[in-house]
Structure 1
Amino acid sequence: MCMIKNIIIVGAGRMGNAIAIAFAYAGIEIALVDVKDRNPAEKNEFLQKWNDSLDQELHLLEHIGMLVNDQCKVLKERIHFYFKDNQTIDWKNCELIIEGVPEIMTHKQHCFRWLEPLISKNCIVASTTSTFLVTDIAKLISHPERIVNAHWLNPGYLMPLVELSRSEHTADIAVEKLKTLLEAIGKVPVICNAVAGYIVPRIQALAMNEAARMVEENVASAEDIDKAIRTGFGLRFSVLGMLEFIDWGGGDILYHASEYLREELGERYTGPDIIKKNMRENRNGIRELSGFYKYESMDIYQYKLNVISKFAENLRFNKLIPQYEIMK
């Protein structure tokens, strides 16, 4: 399987710029196309704003030590900006389109209608949408086997995760090629089916709404809720995945905690059937050597040591590691 080399990003907004930086940082020449119709004066104004915005992002990377010496200049030279009417854009040889136009269906329709005659039928088309399903996007352009949603998390040049969503029509080779490319530039792609919310947005929407609800109900101040998230929730789940943590603590513990919260706070805390099923089958997690993961062949002590070591590293980095005999 050949690595994708010819990539065009359509949509020169915040996400398009961030993705262009990610590829350029990895050493790839990238074309970035503004898809809005503009008159000459509007083009000049937009180009200046785009340059200023890109410079600002690159200077941020300089300040945090990710770019040094002349790397900022070199990276910028790898990003080739075009307006949509530029006749030198190499659409014919494009292997991957990354679409990042605004999350408005009419904008998406217009974009794909314009793209259709320009690209080959073998060109993979990846939409960055967080709003529309891949099955919705596949209706906007021919050859649904080449359509994948690729949801990048902001800021795209820093966050490693990219959520890939496929439909039943998406070809395996399209997913594998895109996944291989993303891994090659240092990203961490995961694959999910065509369901609203992907993985992270679906989980974080529940958590963020609950945090806002706690402010609304005067449970705690916004500052203390965020402090709890940063020093508890965030630190924990930077080391253990959420399902891994259920296994760590025990699915039955989650079940009983959820039942209590359901009685006190409402039906939104009702646990899913899979937790009850695991309990019936004695698959509550590590202590029974089976849960969402299987632990029969694992060295449990070494596994726990690895987890605790990573957790301690995070605590040290955040200057939260306990000090021995601090009160003596």
Structure 2
Amino acid sequence: MSARGHIACLGAGRMGRGIAVAFAYAGHPVTMIDIKPRTAEEFAKLEREALGEVRATFASLARLGMLQAADADRLMARVTVAPASESSEVLGQTTLVFEGVPEIVDLKREVLGAASRAVGPDVIIASTTSTILVDDLSGAIEKPERFLNAHWLNPAYLIPLIEISPGKATDPEITARLKALLEGIGKVPVVCAATPGFIVPRIQALAMNEAARMVGEGVASAEEIDKAIRYGFGFRYAVLGLLEFIDWGGGDILYYASRYLEGALGSERYRAPDVIERNMAEGRIGLRTGAGFLDYSGMDVAAYREQRLGALVEMLRHFKLARPPVVD
């Protein structure tokens, strides 16, 4: 048995399988617990499907150079699927529980409540819901101070980011423990308030809807818009965060650009938020003033700019777009 903590996933669907891959890859034993009572034949079918997908994922990662093909069997040995009838036994031995059942409040509350009564008193319990607020679920949990949300982005085994959303009852120490555990398997957790859409889904919903709207308006073809995203929008934001990018150019530029777009396109959705005006009034415009959304005081700004430009050059190389100068 691994010295690393045992992870339990409530549900053996897409999210449970992705989390199993991530933790098994990092050396943890993982059990996906089926939440639905089934016949032996039905469970055997689910088990084959779940383990088959996990094995196929490890094979894909081997082809992509993330592991040696010979390592796949060792990683697979860390992953099991348990029937609903064995859930209490499994949960009694686990150190961390992730819930990944369908986005139905009553179902999640039922499954989470039962799990909270089966695990040890200090075991962290995390939902992975992408839509339901943590406080809509915490009332079903025994010791809700050890409950919070951990929103993984698919594919869970590859995307580094995990959005941690504590509830009103969550003990800050639990948030810190989960953050450290996730960092320990190579993830990049961020903490956000329990609000609809968290961080990434809220931003990407706006961006995706706007891209679709431009196709509908005939601004450009889907192919051209996606090319613009890959080589412009996404290219820059792989290096510079959105708020960092505002500071890079200046909050005043965003303010005046937003006013123009709001008028030209006749839509309030382009209006700059109040925080942009407040920052301008306080002289927090960005790099030019030493502060914006981020603080640049005491920083070697020239060195910082060159470091970020160097990262963009690496992006050019990644896309095979870096070329030598023409010097003749």
Q: What's the TM-score bracket when you normalise by the shorter of the two chains? A: over 0.9
Q: What are the ranges of 5 or more consecutive residues in structure 1 without an aligned counterpart?
A: none
CA offsets, 1:72-115, max 9 Å, x none? Answer: 11111111221121278332242211111111223213312432
Label 1:113 to 1:168 Cα distance change in 2 as closer, same or farther (>3 A). Answer: closer
- What's the counterpart of residue 287 of structure 2? 286
* Counterpart residue type for residue 191 of structure 2: I
- What's the counterpart of residue 73 of structure 1? 73
**In structure 2, how many angstroms separate the alpha carbons of the residues matched to 1:178 and 1:262?**
42
The CA deviation at 1:55 is: 2.1
* Counterpart residue type for residue 297 of structure 1: G
Alpha carbons 1:37, 1:84 under 8 Å: kept: yes
5 Å-filtered alignment, 1:40-189, equals 40-86=40-86, 89-189=89-189
CA offsets, 1:185-206, max 9 Å, x none? Answer: 1100100111111111110010
The CA deviation at 1:184 is: 0.7
Alpha carbons 2:240, 2:308 under 8 Å: kept: yes
**In structure 2, how many angstroms separate the alpha carbons of the residues matched to 1:126 and 1:113?**
12
The CA deviation at 1:56 is: 1.8
**In structure 2, how many angstroms separate the alpha carbons of the residues matched to 1:169 and 1:113?**
15
The CA deviation at 1:322 is: 4.2
* Counterpart residue type for residue 252 of structure 1: D
Over the aligned positions, Cα root-mean-square deviation in angstroms equals 1.7
Q: TM-score, normalised by structure 2?
A: 0.95
**In structure 1, how many angstroms separate the alpha carbons of the residues matched to 2:254 and 2:132?**
32
Q: TM-score, normalised by structure 1?
A: 0.95
- What's the counterpart of residue 318 of structure 1? 319
The CA deviation at 1:39 is: 1.2
**In structure 2, how many angstroms separate the alpha carbons of the residues matched to 1:12 and 1:87?**
12
Alpha carbons 2:165, 2:194 under 8 Å: kept: yes
**In structure 2, how many angstroms separate the alpha carbons of the residues matched to 1:83 and 1:204?**
36
Alpha carbons 2:110, 2:140 under 8 Å: kept: no
5 Å-filtered alignment, 1:211-226, equals 211-226=211-226
* Counterpart residue type for residue 139 of structure 2: K
**In structure 2, how many angstroms separate the alpha carbons of the residues matched to 1:41 and 1:95?**
30
SS of the residue corresponding to residue 131 of structure 2 reads coil
**Are residue 263 (structure 1) and residue 260 (structure 2) matched?**
no
* Counterpart residue type for residue 52 of structure 1: G
The higher-RCO structure (CA 8 Å, 6+ apart) is 1
**In structure 2, how many angstroms separate the alpha carbons of the residues matched to 1:232 and 1:45?**
45
**In structure 2, how many angstroms separate the alpha carbons of the residues matched to 1:314 and 1:132?**
36
SS of the residue corresponding to residue 215 of structure 2 reads helix
Label 1:181 to 1:278 Cα distance change in 2 as closer, same or farther (>3 A). Answer: same
The CA deviation at 1:321 is: 2.0
CA offsets, 1:274-319, max 9 Å, x none? Answer: 1001111111100111111111200011000100001100110111
Segments of 4+ in structure 1 off by > 4 A?
none
> Alignment identity in percent?
47
Alpha carbons 1:146, 1:171 under 8 Å: kept: yes
* Counterpart residue type for residue 176 of structure 2: E
**Are residue 227 (structure 1) and residue 222 (structure 2) matched?**
no
Q: What are the ranges of 5 or more consecutive residues in structure 2 without an aligned counterpart?
A: none
